[in-house]
């Protein structure tokens, strides 16, 4: 199982390797958590946005979603707030990660 997961990750990062001390139970726990984050990412469909591999932690909020644009593999950790009230757009490009309790506000 560990090898299968490693091979999947290598499709995106060819040099990736798990440390030998990483247990299978830890991997399963991590995959379950990130799977839940990916399901939360599907809620952008309700705002007429394409869910392009977005991972959303718990408590993430946004204001004026029509001015927010997401790239591929965007990760918003727990309790991130995105506000896009300004004239311009808030654009999160590919492979962007925003840490927990962060606020990005365009005014």
- What digits encode the pLDDT tens for the residues 48-68? 777 788 999 999 999 998 899
pLDDT of residue 53: 84
| pLDDT grade for 105, boundaries at 50, 70 and 90 | very high
pLDDT of residue 99: 96
Average pLDDT, the chain: 89
pLDDT of residue 76: 95
Torsion of CA 25, 26, 30, 36, to 10 degrees: 40
Distances from the Cα of 21 to the Cα of 2, 15, 18, 26, 70, angstroms: 12, 18, 8, 10, 35
- 70 vs 16: CA distance, rounded Å: 25
Q: Residue 47: pLDDT above 80?
A: no
- 57 vs 66: CA distance, rounded Å: 20
Flag whether the pTM goes above 0.85. no
Q: Residue 82: pLDDT above 90?
A: yes
DSSP string for 39-83: HHHGGGGGGT----SEEE-TT-EEE-GGGEEE-SSEEE-TT-EEE
């Amino acid at each position: 199982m560990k090898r299968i997961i490693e091979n999947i990750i290598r499709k995106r990062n060819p040099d990736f390797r798990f440390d030998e001390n990483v247990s299978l139970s830890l991997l399963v726990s991590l995959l379950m958590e990130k799977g839940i984050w990916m399901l939360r990412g599907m809620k952008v469909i309700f705002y007429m946005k394409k869910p392009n591999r977005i991972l959303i932690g718990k408590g993430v909020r946004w204001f004026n979603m029509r001015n927010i644009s997401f790239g591929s593999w965007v990760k918003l950790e727990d309790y991130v707030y995105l506000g896009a009230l300004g004239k311009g757009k808030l654009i999160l490009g590919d492979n962007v990660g925003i840490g927990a309790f962060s606020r990005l506000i365009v005014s």
